[in-house]
Chains A and B, each alone.
Chain A
Amino acid sequence: MDQTLFWNLLAKKIAGEASEEELHQLESLMKQNPDWAYQAEHIQHMWQTTSGDKQESEFAFEQHLQRMKEAGVDLQPELPSINSGIKRDKVKNIFAYSAAAVVVFLIAGFVWLSSNKRNVLSASEKNYSEVSSPFGSKTKLVLPDSTVVWLNAGSKLTYNEHFGITNRNTTLTGEAFFDVKKSTVPFVIRANNIQIKVLGTAFNVKAYPEDKTTETSLIHGRVEVTLDKRPGEPIVLKPNEKLIVVNEKAEAKVEQKKDPKIVIDELTRINDTTIVETSWVRNELIFQDETFSDIARKMERWYGFTIEIRDEEIASERLSGTFTTETIQEALTALQYSTKFHYSIKGKQVTITQ
């Protein structure tokens, strides 16, 4: 008698995977070998067990929420309470005012990384508020005038105590996407060597001091950008335009020039709905035909790692790509398909070599 067949059939039956034919086959085997029936019955009983200590899982969930917070991932909106529906509607209303672009973001379902690490200093202590987003995470905030700001990794936004009343002045270090609430009070952003003035519009400002350039990308509406070196000569941007200003420090290294270098360019679109400049808001790290050293800087902020490229040739290699939920290892491995290099990771330090 083929015992192996019997056990395999019984195993299938228990797991609920046996076909009609197999069940018949098993039954006839059992009839021929009644001494197996007892064992078979016990095994079947044994199969149905309940496992798990619910309380332990409840505790684990609390721990999990804590870790999510630390990682800057927020359950958005808050854990449901009776009024959670109301809260959500309110959020939706804010978005309803805003641009089609932002609506598209919502539909596309961006992942929102949280605001828990933000550090708001109270006005009474300091006369201004400061919100910062650490490396490796992003922060969404709503200013007192209902303007919505997404702060990218390693960025800081400050505004004074009279914000929203007599003025709407802010200072930005790093990158942020603004969806400015319409008002007669101009909304002003100081960033690196430029000043941006708007009334109500959606745009992205990238002004990391360590970058070579400061970029203002307009999605819709109208913005005026004034360079520190050319007061009284505002540059007006039209939708879908991007103003690139070379940062002074970077510029000084290259050449001594009186006027800052500026370029007005179109926004980089991958398709109708994806704009590279604002992709980070949707939790996408996109780069198109950029040098490895520029990409490395983006990845440093994105992942909160430091990346050192020890080879000039690799550093100047131009690459394109999109990352969303990849880990830094996965991202580097993907880049290895485009260009040859080796990498090693020690703690939060990545070293790239030939």
Chain B
Amino acid sequence: MVEVALLKKLITAIAYKDDAAAYKELFLLYHKRLLNFSITITHSKESSEEVVSDVFMKIWMNRKVLPGIENFHLYIYIATKNLSINKALKDRKQEYFSLDEAVVDTKNIYADPEQLMITSEMQKNIQSAIQALPPKCQLIFKLVREDGLKHKEVAELLNLSLKTIENQIGIAIKKISESIRFDFVRIMN
């Protein structure tokens, strides 16, 4: 999750003081998540590193207008999406991009076993449950869970209805829960 207050502080410092340290902090805050999000579209880490760098270059060049952006968190995801799609189309010589082509890095989705009371068996089940989800569903799940986007924001980002987002998240939660439940039942026996 990105804290709103921290974000505001960083943006103000960047916009009004040309604060390079705040700029770096903002970069570190977003790099990994934007990279992962971009890879779902470009399918290439190398291309996505470029995309994220381009997004941040634009942010620096347009820093004076940053405080005027109503929802920076969403804005930076939309900027990443647009540049990722451009990059993907160029890389793959395609004319359009569909969400069904999204490739979600599921390695980032399951939890740290040290932190949770989950057996490695359960972990595997959860992971395969997530992997079995359709790409669009995985992407939505990831954006809400890892990127801290609100349902409404994911809807705007992906040009889908709010209802679709809610249902897709519901499906993801249900499928993951079922994999846990399966385990639970087995342990009990």
Interface string of B141-184 (1 = CB under 8 A from A): 00011100011000000000000001101111110111011001
Report whether B166 and A12 are in contact in the complex, using a CB–CB cutoff of 8 Å.
Answer: yes
With A7-B177, A73-B57, A73-B61 in contact, do A15 and B169 touch (Cβ < 8 Å)? yes
Beta-carbon contact of B150 and A17 below 8 Å: yes
Q: A35-B181, A88-B18 are in contact. List 20 more A-B contacts (CB 8 A).
A: A3-B174, A11-B169, A15-B144, A38-B184, A45-B115, A46-B111, A49-B115, A51-B146, A52-B31, A53-B32, A56-B31, A57-B32, A60-B27, A64-B52, A67-B50, A73-B61, A75-B18, A78-B20, A79-B24, A325-B58
CB of B19 within 8 A of chain A?
A: yes
- Chain A residue numbers with a CB within 8 Å of B53 are 60, 63-64, 67-68
* Among A15, A17, A51, contact of B108 (Cβ-Cβ < 8 Å): A51
A-B contacts, CB under 8 A, total: 138
- Please, which residues of chain A bring their CB within 8 A of the CB of B167? 4, 8
Q: Is the CB of A52 within 8 A of B180?
A: no
Question: CB distance B126 to A46 under 8 Å?
Answer: yes
8 Å CB contacts to B: which residues of A1-30?
3-4, 7-8, 10-12, 14-15, 17
Question: Quick one: which of B36, B150, B176, B181 contacts A46, CB cutoff 8 A?
Answer: B176
Q: Closest CB-CB distance, A9 to chain B, in whole Å?
A: 8
- A217 in contact (CB, < 8 A): no
Q: In the complex, which residues 53-77 of chain A have their Cβ closer than 8 Å to any Cβ of chain B?
A: 53-54, 56-58, 60-61, 63-64, 67-68, 71, 73, 75-77
Does B97 count as interface, using CB distance less than 8 angstroms?
A: no
A335 in the interface, Cβ–Cβ < 8 Å?
A: no
Contact between chains at A60 and B35 (CB < 8 Å):
yes
Scan A338-353; emit 1 where CB is below 8 A from any B CB, else 0. Answer: 0000000000000000
Q: Chain B residues with Cβ under 8 A from A78's Cβ? A: 20
B174 in contact with A7 (CB, 8 Å): yes
B61 touches A39 (CB 8 A): no
Q: Is there a chain B Cβ closer than 8 Å to A43's Cβ?
A: yes
- The proximity string for B residues 105-138 relative to A, scoring 1 for CB distances below 8 Å and 0 otherwise, is 0001011100110100000001000000000000
B181 A325 Cβ-Cβ under 8 A: no
For the complex formed, measure the closest distance between the CB of B87 and the CB atoms of chain A, giving whole angstroms: 12
CA distance A8 to B28 in the complex (A): 32
How far is A51 from B29 in the complex, measured between Cα atoms in Å?
11
**Can you pick out 17 interface pairs between chain A and chain B where the beta carbons lie within 8 Å of each other?**
A8-B169, A11-B166, A11-B169, A11-B170, A11-B173, A12-B166, A15-B150, A38-B181, A40-B177, A52-B31, A52-B33, A53-B32, A57-B32, A73-B57, A77-B20, A325-B58, A329-B86
Contacts of B36 in A (CB 8 A): 51
Query: How far is B61's CA from A175's CA once the two chains are assembled, in angstroms?
Result: 22
Does A47 touch B at the CB level, under 8 Å? yes
CB-based contact B111/A73 at 8 Å: no
CB distance from A11 to the nearest CB of B (A): 4
In whole angstroms, how far apart are the Cα atoms of A54 and B30 in the complex?
A: 11
Tell me the count of chain B residues lying within 8 A, CB to CB, of chain A: 53
For the complex, count residues of A whose C-beta is within 8 A of B.
50
Residues of B within 8 A of A40 (CB): 177
In Å, the complex CA distance between A170 and B49 comes to: 42
Judged by a CB distance under 8 angstroms, whether B62 is at the interface is yes
Smallest CB-CB separation from B62: which chain A residue? Answer: A325
Does A111 make an interface contact (CB < 8 A)?
Answer: yes
CB distance from B170 to the nearest CB of A (A): 4
Q: Which residue of B lies closest to A88 (CB)?
A: B18
Contact A10:B173 (CB < 8 A) given known A38-B180, A78-B20: yes
List the 6 shortest-distance A-B pairs measured between CB atoms, nearest first. A109-B64, A8-B170, A39-B177, A52-B32, A11-B169, A7-B170
Verify if A80 is at the interface (C-beta below 8 Å from B): yes
Contacts A39-B180, A46-B176, A325-B58 known; A57 to B27 CB distance under 8 Å?
Answer: yes
Q: Is B72 an interface residue (CB 8 A)?
A: no
A147 at the interface (CB under 8 A from B): no
